[in-house]
Amino acid sequence: MTTVDRTSEHLGAHAGHHDEGSYLTPKYGPIGTVWDWMTTVDHKKIGVMYLFAVLFMFFLGGVAALMLRTELLDPTRVVDGQVTGAALSALVPGEVTPASVGQLYNRVMTMHGAIMVFMFIVPGIPASLGNFFLPLMLGAKDVAFPRLNLASWYIYVFGSMFGVFSILMGGVDTGWTFYTPYSTTTAGQPQVIAMVLAAFILGFSSIFTGLNFIVTTHKLRAPGMGWFDMPLFIWAVYSTSIIQVLATPVIGITLLLLFFERALQIGIFDPGLGGDPVLFQHFFWFYSHPVVYVMILPAMGIISDVLAVHCHKRIFGYRAIAFSSLAIAAISFLVWGHHMFSSQGELAAMIFSFLTFFVAIPTAVKVFNWIASLYKGSITFTTPMLYVFAFLFLFSIGGLTGLPLGTLSTDLHLHDSYFVVAHFHYVMFGGTVIAFLAGIHHWWPKMFGRMYNERGGQIGCLLVFVGFNVTFFTQFFLGTQGMPRRYASYVDDFHTLHVISTIGSYILAAGFLVHLGVFIHSLFLGPKAPQNPWGGLTLEWETQTPPIEHNFHDEPVVTHGPYDFDEVVPPGWDPKDYPLPAPDPAGHKH
């Protein structure tokens, strides 16, 4: 790592005497400001717009999830000709029958999955926090292609509108996986086509964002920043971008073929016409497996950075974490078949099971490194750090429960059961969403120039952690005991566990409401944030809070590694508040 001494005149160069407004300062009247935001090529504004958009989608998907859990509070039964346990049915007119309950449940289930996957979690961290902080952390003025970035945002909006339009037209009941031949034969032609097109269009947004980030990382690093001086968040986003660019075109062609299958019955996927439904599954998972790493890798990057800053501690095994991101990205392209253990031949199953275990190793290595990074740290219990602990707890469970799913004989039982649902949510929610929350809290002061209420954040975190575990830990047992996924109703044996899970989901929702309150409070009443509230060493903390329009007054020069907490007083901090440890007696630097 570079450990050139910081030149004092460089620090002094932007010590306050430029009093330029932040990127948030309106330069025009109200209409002008709106127009300014709508046509901005500033990565920070685009990042903020993405942040609000994906959080809105998270809200929509979350409401759908609560509807599902409420529906599952009671199993559907016909008692004296009356259907009971059909909570959702109050929302739609028409006669209530077990079939109509299933129909409605399946639409809400698809809405939850499609929104959460395509509109929230895939664009989620890279497009919002990545957009905002990738150039800042690299010391760049903007991403490589700012106009492409804006285009990518509008494509996202356009694609999401198709999705929402499809829901308003009555919804889709294919599940987010669009398995053929169900998706080519189910009712609701226009909605299914609209939803498929939505996912197709959103793919372009994903490709353009990824492409932009790769080029930015290659060409716009600040002087002095070598590849191994980059913050680990950048490594993670970089690896993510590679997957986005290489995997998304495959779902593009898949969805296009599905579109033609649906519109013209060309017969590629429909067995009734001579097609092969398993081909669709191969195509679909060739994208959708790597894409779960699009969801989780940026989260891992956030964890690395937040953990280091809130412990004032060098990340243990920097290179191992950086390379494991790349390794995960590479291996992720070879394991798609483990989603199809129940629909493919023995040889393919063996190969895919074998390869799947290879993903486990770099993932485990990361967790070990994070835990080791805590050793001899100076650990705070701020909300972002609490979320890091929550992440380590939940993601470990998520990772470990992946083992019986990757193992062939146990997977035959657990496949397509609630065990998979629980595992997936432990990784995606316990991993990605929890890390996203850590990141939002960590960077909130930098983005909006105001502190959030720490106590409020901690309470929210606790509720989310407890609620999440109550909701999803029960689902492991539902799965092993035999509850299949995507069921609108169930046999009586599963009632108790479903009730507990639903109660958990309400606690979880309460946690999010607390966070929402904390954020709104902060935006309007929060105290002004200092330049570097946590004492971070990466470049985003060197500029003012919130950053100016062109990020830095002068081009930053990187003179130390991103995690050299042993050597450097964080920018904006008084050395009195930040005692450095005694110099290494041996005199060598790590």
Q: Are residues 390 and 361 in contact, defined by beta-carbon separation less than 8 angstroms? A: no
Among positions 272, 516, 523, 527, the unique one binding other proteins when judged by CB under 8 A: 272
Of 277, 152, 272, give the one whose Cα is nearest residue 204. Answer: 152
Among positions 330, 348, 365, 466, the unique one binding other proteins when judged by CB under 8 A: 365
Between 448 and 538, CB nearer to other proteins: 538
State which of positions 540-559 bind other proteins (CB under 8 A).
550, 555
CA dihedral 513, 519, 524, 526 (to 10 degrees): 120
Indicate whether 99 belongs to the interface with other proteins (CB under 8 A). yes
Least distance between other proteins and beta carbon 313 (Å): 5
Of 562, 534, 311, 306, give the one whose Cα is nearest residue 435. Answer: 306
| Alpha-carbon separation of residue 400 from 329, 391, 393, 572 (angstroms) | 19, 14, 11, 41
Indicate whether 214 belongs to the interface with other proteins (CB under 8 A). yes
State which of positions 298-317 bind other proteins (CB under 8 A).
311-314, 316-317
Among positions 24, 73, 348, 360, the unique one binding other proteins when judged by CB under 8 A: 360
Total residues interacting with other proteins, rule: CB under 8 A: 144
Indicate whether 70 belongs to the interface with other proteins (CB under 8 A). no
Check residue 572 and give left, alpha or beta (phi > 0: left; psi -120 to 50: alpha): left
Site string for other proteins, 481-510 (x = CB under 8 A): xx-xxxxxxxx-x-----------------
Q: Are residues 564 and 578 in contact, defined by beta-carbon separation less than 8 angstroms? A: no
Q: Are residues 394 and 422 in contact, defined by beta-carbon separation less than 8 angstroms? A: no
Rounded to the nearest 5°, which phi and psi values hold at 71? -60, -35
Indicate whether 380 belongs to the interface with other proteins (CB under 8 A). yes
Between 55 and 461, CB nearer to other proteins: 461
Interface segment toward other proteins; rule CB under 8 A; list 5-13, 45-53, 160-168, 273-281: 273-281
Interface segment toward other proteins; rule CB under 8 A; list 12-20, 101-109, 447-455, 506-514: 101-109
Least distance between other proteins and beta carbon 435 (Å): 16
Distance between CA 313 and CA 453 in Å, rounded?
A: 25
Q: Are residues 78 and 98 in contact, defined by beta-carbon separation less than 8 angstroms? A: yes
Between 146 and 517, CB nearer to other proteins: 146
Between 471 and 474, CB nearer to other proteins: 474
State which of positions 321-350 bind other proteins (CB under 8 A).
342-343, 346, 349-350
Q: Are residues 335 and 247 in contact, defined by beta-carbon separation less than 8 angstroms? A: no
Site string for other proteins, 385-424 (x = CB under 8 A): ----x--xx--xx--xx-xx-xxxxxxxx-xxx-------
Q: Are residues 275 and 262 in contact, defined by beta-carbon separation less than 8 angstroms? A: no
Angle (nearest 5°) at CA 299 between 380 and 483: 110
DSSP letters spanning 110-171: HHHHHIIIIIIITTHHIIIIIHHHHHHHHT-SS-S-HHHHHHHHHHHHHHHHHHHHHHHTT-
Least distance between other proteins and beta carbon 542 (Å): 17
Distance between CA 334 and CA 326 in Å, rounded?
A: 14
Distance between CA 322 and CA 329 in Å, rounded?
A: 11
Between 79 and 525, CB nearer to other proteins: 79
Least distance between other proteins and beta carbon 91 (Å): 17
Between 212 and 545, CB nearer to other proteins: 212
Distance between CA 371 and CA 379 in Å, rounded?
A: 12
Least distance between other proteins and beta carbon 440 (Å): 22
Indicate whether 582 belongs to the interface with other proteins (CB under 8 A). yes
Least distance between other proteins and beta carbon 430 (Å): 13
State which of positions 131-150 bind other proteins (CB under 8 A).
140-142, 144-146, 148
Least distance between other proteins and beta carbon 429 (Å): 18
Q: What 3-state DSSP class applies to 79?
A: strand
Among positions 56, 59, 158, 357, the unique one binding other proteins when judged by CB under 8 A: 357
* Dihedral of alpha carbons 129, 398, 116, 496, sign: negative
Indicate whether 256 belongs to the interface with other proteins (CB under 8 A). yes
Between 150 and 257, CB nearer to other proteins: 257
Between 55 and 384, CB nearer to other proteins: 384
State which of positions 223-252 bind other proteins (CB under 8 A).
245-246, 248-250, 252
Indicate whether 220 belongs to the interface with other proteins (CB under 8 A). yes
Q: Are residues 431 and 528 in contact, defined by beta-carbon separation less than 8 angstroms? A: no
Between 389 and 506, CB nearer to other proteins: 389
Of 220, 226, 217, 218, give the one whose Cα is nearest residue 301. Answer: 217
Least distance between other proteins and beta carbon 51 (Å): 21
Distance between CA 273 and CA 303 in Å, rounded?
A: 49
Q: What 3-state DSSP class applies to 77?
A: strand
Distance between CA 333 and CA 335 in Å, rounded?
A: 6
Between 53 and 254, CB nearer to other proteins: 254
Interface segment toward other proteins; rule CB under 8 A; list 28-36, 78-86, 431-439, 511-519: 78-86
